[in-house]
Amino acid sequence: MKKYALSVCLFAAVFNVKSQSNMNVDQKVSTLLSRMTLEEKVGQMTQISVEAFLKSTNGKLNEPHEFDMAKLTEAISKYKIGSMLNVGGDAQTLDLWRKRIETIQKLALKERIKIPVLYGIDAIRGNNYTLESVLFPQQIAQAASFNPAMAQKAAAVAAYETRAAFIPWNFSPVLDLGRQPVWPRIWETYGEDPHLVTEMGKAVILGYEGSGQTIDKYHVFACLKHYMGYSMPLSGHDRTPAWIPERELREYFLPQFAAAVKAGAKTVMVNSGEINGIPVHSNKHILTDILKGELQFKGFIVSDWQDIQYLYQRHKIAVDNKDAVMIAINAGIDMSMVPTDFTFCDDLIALVKEGKVSMSRVDDAVSRILKVKFEAGLFDQPAGNAKDYPLFNSPQHNKLNYDVAAECITLLKNEDQILPLAKGKKIFVTGPSASSMRPLNGGWSRNWQGLNSNETEKGKNTILEAITNVFGTENVTYSEGATFTEAKDLKDAVTKAAAADVIVLCIGEDSYTETPGNIDDITISAPQIELAKALAATGKPVVFVLTEGRPRIISAIEPLSKAVIHAYLLGNEGGNVIADVLAGKINPSGKLPYTYPRHTNSLTNYYHKFTESLEFDPTAGYNPQWEFGYGLSYTTFTYSDLKVSDPTLDANGELTVTVKMSNTGKVAGKETALLYASDMVASITPEVKRLRAFQKIELQPGESKVLTFTLKSEDFSFINNDLKRVTEPGKFTLSIGGLTSVFTYQ
Active site residues: 304
d(CA 674, CA 196): 10
736 touches 674 (CB < 8 A): yes
Cα 364 from chain centroid (whole Å): 29
List the alpha helices (DSSP H) in 332-434.
343-353, 359-375, 395-408
d(CA 286, CA 244): 13
Q: 321-331 vs 359-375: helix axis angle to the nearest 10? A: 70
Smallest Cα–Cα separation from 508: which of 455, 442, 444?
Answer: 442
The H-or-E segment that residue 744 falls in is: strand 739-745
Our separate counts of H helices and E strands in the chain read 22, 28
336 touches 303 (CB < 8 A): yes
375 touches 86 (CB < 8 A): no
Tell me which DSSP letter residue 293 carries: I
Distances (CA, A) of 502 to 430, 543, 637: 11, 8, 28
Distances (CA, A) of 618 to 121, 368, 622: 48, 54, 9
CA angle 420, 395, 129 (to 5 degrees): 100
d(CA 548, CA 565): 11
Name beta bridge partners: 170.
121
By CB atoms closer than 10 A (0-12, 13-18, 19+), residue 77 is middle
115 touches 32 (CB < 8 A): yes
680 touches 600 (CB < 8 A): no
